[in-house]
């Protein structure tokens, strides 16, 4: 529908400036901000060679901790094997971290899932493993792909738009393509030469690749939205833009004044009462060699001849009628460094990123202090994981459906955001166990997966049972020896001693049989 095309194109254009701004701050290419236009015009070029990209830290620390540990189909080994085959063919271990970086940088990113068959790959460009997998995943940034939602219900997708520019044609004209993706079809559109992209008469259906409207029976729009908020996300570093601008301003200005440190601006004050009779001038030598100012290699030493304005070893400068000379000192670097440290702390606070990530050379907190410092970041990352879990389940349910494997649920597991690594962490865990907290609970609180904890505890229980049995056998051996001494002394009869040993052994064997059952 042309109305949807124009609406989708307009929404892409409306959101584009914000995405470009987020990209600029993430890449560290933002320009220095000037309050005065005249100063801006005079000094803008000085910032071209300086880049202080601290804000990327807020993005990177979140990407590093949003690590998919496992995606599987619970209690369905065959479906999990098929999922793994598609995962490996599409190299999702590489593409998902890149997708999450785009998601956190822009606030939005998209995954498109489409079936691929060998006979459809006429040019032979697809990887053999990808064709064997039967399903292709492609990731897209939000500058040219967008999901539009039902205005009456933002939980439901209305359609998706994907756009791209074609190479210049023979006449030097650039045409644009756009696809509209619906639950039952895909519409292919192209701009008319010199057409207005914002008007209906600037577009026409594109039929060169086949039918301009391609039907399908997916029952789902094959574009899945990863985001940092609802219905659309925001860059995770958005709140730090101002602090980054301030840091750039302080450091660029400091470096600009560095030239004054090596090439100071000097001054000379004249004495208004001085008599300029030239009695202090050096004699007018006829020959430079007689003046002693020319070295054997022919270079003049000490500046110009016949004047008191020479400089260099063994010379003296004389300024006739001069009252005072001096130089203007450059600004103290602390004037810039102290405010910069303040703005870094502001950036840490506004982006919920602990300060020690911006200054790893300083004293990093440890133990309980580290947990307190990272608590806002951990909560933030856990929320981002929740937001990514939903599209992950949707796209893999859809992919398995395309592969002919019908399942109802996908199990997504994330690597722990925070794990116990220091002595203080384990001391706290031990104190909890000593206080009666179950071992499995303390291990899960330390950041280990429930499956791993269960496996450890099962192995530990078996080892503990074996150790108990060995100790019991030692105790039985000691008891038998004591009974033998009692029989020898006549304290107990041999029949009674044998009966006691048989009873104990029978109970031990029964207990061992029950443990292994």
Q: What is the pLDDT of residues 83-119, one digit of tens each?
A: 999 999 999 999 999 999 999 999 999 999 999 875 5
Residue 306 has pLDDT above 50, yes or no: no
| Closest among 185, 218, 222, 238 to 62, alpha carbons compared | 238
Among 234, 251, 283, which residue terminates a domain?
Answer: 234
Residue 368 has pLDDT above 60, yes or no: yes
Whether residue 279 sits in one domain with residue 162 = no
- Lowest mean pLDDT segment, chosen from 167-171, 399-403, 487-491: 487-491
Whether residue 173 sits in one domain with residue 121 = yes
Q: What is the pLDDT of residues 460-483, one digit of tens each?
A: 555 555 556 556 666 767 776 777
CA dist 325 to 159, 287, 328, Å? 76, 31, 11
Spatial CB neighbours of 290, under 8 Å, sequence gap ≥ 6: none
Whether residue 227 sits in one domain with residue 113 = yes
- Lowest mean pLDDT segment, chosen from 60-74, 83-97, 402-416, 424-438: 424-438
Among 281, 308, 328, which residue terminates a domain?
Answer: 328
Asked whether residue 90 is assigned to any structural domain, the reply reads no
| Band of residue 304 on the pLDDT scale cut at 50, 70, 90 | very low
Q: What residues make up the domain containing 217?
A: 108-234
| Band of residue 289 on the pLDDT scale cut at 50, 70, 90 | low
Asked whether residue 198 is assigned to any structural domain, the reply reads yes
| Band of residue 259 on the pLDDT scale cut at 50, 70, 90 | low
Q: Which two tokens stand for residue 338?
A: 């102290």
| Band of residue 435 on the pLDDT scale cut at 50, 70, 90 | confident
Task: State residue 264's pLDDT score.
Answer: 66
Whether residue 202 sits in one domain with residue 139 = yes
Helices (H) and strands (E) in the chain, counts: 15, 13
Indicate the pairing of strand 108-115 with strand 135-140. antiparallel
Task: State residue 284's pLDDT score.
Answer: 46
Residues of the chain with pLDDT > 70, as a percent, come to: 72
- pLDDT greater at residue 302 or residue 180: 180
Task: State residue 248's pLDDT score.
Answer: 86
How large is the C-alpha radius of gyration of the chain?
39
Asked whether residue 382 is assigned to any structural domain, the reply reads no
- pLDDT greater at residue 34 or residue 396: 396
Decide: 281 and 316 in contact? Cβ < 8 Å. no
Task: State residue 117's pLDDT score.
Answer: 72
- Lowest mean pLDDT segment, chosen from 89-93, 122-126, 274-278: 122-126
Whether residue 278 sits in one domain with residue 218 = no
Whether residue 300 sits in one domain with residue 185 = no
Residue 63 has pLDDT above 50, yes or no: yes
| Band of residue 60 on the pLDDT scale cut at 50, 70, 90 | very high
Whether residue 117 sits in one domain with residue 217 = yes
- Lowest mean pLDDT segment, chosen from 45-49, 120-124, 130-134, 135-139: 120-124
* Nearest-angstrom CA–CA distance, 185 and 272: 92
* Nearest-angstrom CA–CA distance, 315 and 303: 9
Task: State residue 119's pLDDT score.
Answer: 55
Asked whether residue 131 is assigned to any structural domain, the reply reads yes
Residue 115's DSSP bridge partners are: 135
Task: State residue 303's pLDDT score.
Answer: 47
Asked whether residue 39 is assigned to any structural domain, the reply reads no
Decide: 325 and 319 in contact? Cβ < 8 Å. yes
Provide mean pLDDT across the span 338-362. Answer: 87
Provide mean pLDDT across the span 372-389. Answer: 92
Residue 268 has pLDDT above 70, yes or no: yes
Task: State residue 91's pLDDT score.
Answer: 92
Asked whether residue 201 is assigned to any structural domain, the reply reads yes
Asked whether residue 69 is assigned to any structural domain, the reply reads no
Whether residue 185 sits in one domain with residue 137 = yes
Provide mean pLDDT across the span 74-88. Answer: 91
Asked whether residue 503 is assigned to any structural domain, the reply reads yes
Spell out the long-range contacts of 279-287 with Cβ–Cβ below 8 A and sequence spacing 24 or more: 280/308, 280/318, 280/320, 281/306, 281/307, 281/308, 281/318, 281/320, 282/306, 282/307, 282/308
Q: What is the total count of domains within the chain? A: 3
Provide mean pLDDT across the span 279-302. Answer: 53
Residues of the chain with pLDDT > 90, as a percent, come to: 37
Whether residue 274 sits in one domain with residue 200 = no
Among 310, 328, 346, which residue terminates a domain?
Answer: 328
- pLDDT greater at residue 124 or residue 504: 504
Task: State residue 9's pLDDT score.
Answer: 94
Whether residue 189 sits in one domain with residue 119 = yes
| Closest among 274, 264, 288, 285 to 319, alpha carbons compared | 274
Whether residue 222 sits in one domain with residue 156 = yes
Whether residue 288 sits in one domain with residue 196 = no
| Band of residue 253 on the pLDDT scale cut at 50, 70, 90 | confident
| Band of residue 285 on the pLDDT scale cut at 50, 70, 90 | very low
DSSP string, 281-341: SPP--SSHHHHT-B-TTSPBSSSSSSSS---STT-----TTEEEEEEEPPPPTHHHHHHHH
Residue located via tokens 């998209």? 110
């Amino acid at each position: 529908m042309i109305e949807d095309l124009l609406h989708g194109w307009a929404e892409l254009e409306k959101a584009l400036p914000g995405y470009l701004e987020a990209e600029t701050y993430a890449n560290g290419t933002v320009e220095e901000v000037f309050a005065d236009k005249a100063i801006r015009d005079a000094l803008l070029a000085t910032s071209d060679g300086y880049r202080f990209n601290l804000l990327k830290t807020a993005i990177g620390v979140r990407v590093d901790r949003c690590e998919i540990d496992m995606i599987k189909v619970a209690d369905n080994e065959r479906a999990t094997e098929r999922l793994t085959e598609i995962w490996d063919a599409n190299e999702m271990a590489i593409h998902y971290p890149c997708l999450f970086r785009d998601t956190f940088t822009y606030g939005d990113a998209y995954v498109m899932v489409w079936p691929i068959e060998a006979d459809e790959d006429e040019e032979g460009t697809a990887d053999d493993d990808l064709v064997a997998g039967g399903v292709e995943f492609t990731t897209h940034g939000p500058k040219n792909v967008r999901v539009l939602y039902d205005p009456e219900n933002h939980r439901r997708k209305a359609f998706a738009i994907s756009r791209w520019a074609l190479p210049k044609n023979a006449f030097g004209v650039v045409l644009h393509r756009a696809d509209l993706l619906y639950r039952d079809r895909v519409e292919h559109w192209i701009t008319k030469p010199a057409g207005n992209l914002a008007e209906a008469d600037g577009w026409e259906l594109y039929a060169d690749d086949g039918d301009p409207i391609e039907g399908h029976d997916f029952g789902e729009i094959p574009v899945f939205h990863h985001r940092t908020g609802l219905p659309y996300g925001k860059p995770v570093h958005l709140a730090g833009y101002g602090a980054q601008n301030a840091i750039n301003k302080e450091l660029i200005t400091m470096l600009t004044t560095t030239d004054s440190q090596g090439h100071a601006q000097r001054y000379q004050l004249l004495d208004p009462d001085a008599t300029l009779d030239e009695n202090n001038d050096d004699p007018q030598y006829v020959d430079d060699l007689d003046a002693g100012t020319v070295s054997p290699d022919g270079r003049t030493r000490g500046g110009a001849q016949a004047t008191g304005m020479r400089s260099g070893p063994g010379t003296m400068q004389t300024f006739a009628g001069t009252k005072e000379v001096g130089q203007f000192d450059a600004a103290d670097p602390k004037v810039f460094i102290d405010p910069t440290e303040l703005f870094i702390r502001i950036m840490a606070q506004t982006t919920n990123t602990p300060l020690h990530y911006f200054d790893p050379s300083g004293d990093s907190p440890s133990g309980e202090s580290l947990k307190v410092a990272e608590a806002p970041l951990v909560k933030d990352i856990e929320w981002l994981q929740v937001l990514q879990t939903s599209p992950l389940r949707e796209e893999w349910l859809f992919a398995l459906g395309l592969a002919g494997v019908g399942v109802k649920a996908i199990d997504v597991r994330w690597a722990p955001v925070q794990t116990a690594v220091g002595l203080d962490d384990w001391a706290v865990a031990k104190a909890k166990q000593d206080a009666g907290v179950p071992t499995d609970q303390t291990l899960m609180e330390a950041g280990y997966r429930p499956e791993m904890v269960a496996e450890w505890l099962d192995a530990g229980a078996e080892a503990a049972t074996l150790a108990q049995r060995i100790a019991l056998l030692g105790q039985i051996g000691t008891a038998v020896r004591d009974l033998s001494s009692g029989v020898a002394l006549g304290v107990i009869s041999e029949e009674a001693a044998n009966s006691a040993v048989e009873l104990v052994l029978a109970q031990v064997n029964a207990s061992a049989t029950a443990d292994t059952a």
